[in-house]
Amino acid sequence: LINVNCVDINVMMSLTTINYNGKLQDKTKLINDLKKLKQSNAAGLMIDVWWGIVEAQPGVYNLDGYEEFVKIAVSLKFKVQPVMSFHKCGGNVGDECNIPIPTWVSKIAQDKKLYYTDQDGNQQDEYLSSSADDQRLFPSNSSKFRTPVEMYSDFMKAFAAKFDPYLKNGSINNIQIGVGPASEMRYPSYPSNLWAFPGVGRFQASDALFKQAAALHNVVIPTVNGSYNSSAAETDFFTIGYKTDQGVKFLNFYEEMLFNHTKKIKDEAQKAFPATTLSIKVSGIHWMYGHPSHAAELTAGYINLNNSGYQSIIQKVLGDKVHFDFTCLEMKNSQQEPKALAQPETLVRQVIDVVKSQNAKMGGENALPVWDKAGYDQITKQIKYAGRSFEQFTYLRMTDALFEEKNFDQFCKFVKQFTTIGTDAIIGIIFGGLALVVALVIVIIVVMKKKGTGETQSLIDNDYT
């Protein structure tokens, strides 16, 4: 049957599908689970390709476990969406593993203080700071030293070389480029060891190189933005400071640092994967959305004052070739506690409207596990609102709980909406077909009349000449 909505439903794999030694964690169970998942008609599988696993030694890439995974997936007629995961696994909501960035990288980053850092000196070892992008401090498999951007580029080139046949035949049909914590385009502003929902988080702008860059641009880093768990109304910066000339200058600089970092990696990804669709994930920071400052979005790096943000991400960073991936499609405003000032439903609609206005393409994910009909209905509602702008939805994630009878039945019903023709679509096709037939008949009649007129005139001319 025809996929009228043209939306692929994919499923995220377990974070530990490939173990720390680069091998499939449990091959037999994986195959059995994927055979079961195939019954749902899900289209593809998303899997994190962990930097900390693949490049355990500088410039040496062990992708054998991932190759085995792709072979299994393709044999079962799944498409594959790898994530270039340059962050640490562990420390985010739902993380079930501890896979740090490569040890030889983290040692240098620790010594040279190249991690994102808050104003109290807390370092976030989940991802290298964007301020270190051009620091040529990291070894390769030769005498050459590399910058972080060059390391990310080499990693993606190695992946492209290993999986060239699958990229060429479309078995790998989308690659998500990790550009921050949890593979998202953002700062690590709400680390799980320091933050609790719905705190505003903290700006991550106090590592030495970041402060040097700020000073070069005469930017003053704010120090009155409360604690990780403050509400916006409790802070000076998110009530007054963000509107001052100094505050605006800082926020623009903070956003620009994130944008420049993302663009550098995106450019390298487009070189490595010139013929493959790429996507970059933007985090659904939905709490404090109802406050005028959008404080939690600001600390993550998104300026959304007057609900005018996100357009610049497409215009300045993604362009028209890289898809905008977004989270929290399952959430409703009505489910949120009042003090959080959370409006996930409104945020998702805002992002969809921006994507539509820019004639861009997007994909989406659920932020938390979804088992019930209400959650799936909300996702469906948002996908339908996005219309032709929406390319694929990725379900988080494949677990034993997903295969429990009631849960799997709900999931299958959800997928079915996007793999069969609904009543409205059938009616549309019938009426569209009838309209085409009528139009063809009219054309034929007009042509025949013209032909008949021409033949009659020819006979008249012959009789009187």
pLDDT of residue 97: 83
Best CA proximity match to 444, nearest among 434, 436, 433: 436
User: pLDDT, tens digit, for every residue of 401-442?
Assistant: 999 999 999 999 999 999 855 444 444 545 555 666 666 767
At the top level of CATH, which class does the domain 8-421 belong to? alpha beta
Candidate list 55, 268, 345, 365, residue with the active-site label: 365
pLDDT of residue 306: 85
pLDDT of residue 435: 61
- The sign of the CA dihedral 287, 292, 296, 302 is positive
Distances (CA, A) of 432 to 366, 423, 439, 444, 452: 35, 14, 11, 19, 30
Asked if residues 248 and 242 have their Cβ atoms less than 8 Å apart, the reply is yes
Q: Which residues of 362-392 are buried (b: 16+ CB within 10 A; e: fewer)?
A: bbbbbbeebeeeebbebbbebbeebeebbbb
Tell me: cis bond preceding 388? Omega within 30 of 0 counts: no
The pLDDT tens digits along the chain (465 residues) read: 334 467 999 999 999 999 999 999 999 999 999 999 999 999 999 999 999 999 999 999 999 999 999 999 999 999 999 999 999 998 556 656 889 999 999 999 999 999 999 999 999 999 999 999 999 999 999 999 999 999 999 999 999 999 999 999 999 999 999 999 999 999 999 999 999 999 999 999 999 999 999 999 999 999 989 999 999 999 999 999 999 999 999 999 999 999 999 999 999 999 999 999 999 999 999 999 999 999 999 999 999 998 888 999 999 999 988 999 999 999 999 999 999 999 999 999 999 999 999 999 999 999 999 999 999 999 999 999 999 999 999 999 999 999 999 999 999 999 999 985 544 444 454 555 566 666 676 766 665 666 555 554 443 344 434
Asked if residues 189 and 175 have their Cβ atoms less than 8 Å apart, the reply is no
Q: What is the dihedral of CA 291, 350, 266, 164, to 10 degrees?
A: 130
Both structure tokens of 5: 């909505």
Best CA proximity match to 393, nearest among 437, 457, 329, 439: 329
Both structure tokens of 288: 């404090």
- Which stretch of DSSP H or E encloses residue 84? strand 79-85
Rounded CA-CA distance 225/236 in Å is: 6
- How many CB atoms sit inside 10 A of residue 129's CB? 27
User: pLDDT, tens digit, for every residue of 341-375?
Assistant: 999 999 999 999 999 999 999 999 999 999 999 99
455 counts as catalytic: no
pLDDT of residue 91: 59
pLDDT of residue 308: 82
- Which stretch of DSSP H or E encloses residue 27? helix 27-38
DSSP letters for 269-322: HHHHSTTSEEEEEE----TTTTSTT-HHHHHHT---GGG--SHHHIIIIITTTE
pLDDT of residue 65: 98
pLDDT of residue 197: 97
pLDDT of residue 2: 36
Burial of 168 from C-beta contacts in 10 A (0-12 / 13-18 / 19+) = exposed
Domain ranges of the chain: 8-421, 428-465
Best CA proximity match to 282, nearest among 197, 186, 201: 186
Candidate list 55, 184, 345, 391, residue with the active-site label: 184
Best CA proximity match to 325, nearest among 335, 315, 310: 310
Rounded CA-CA distance 368/364 in Å is: 13
184 counts as catalytic: yes
pLDDT of residue 426: 45
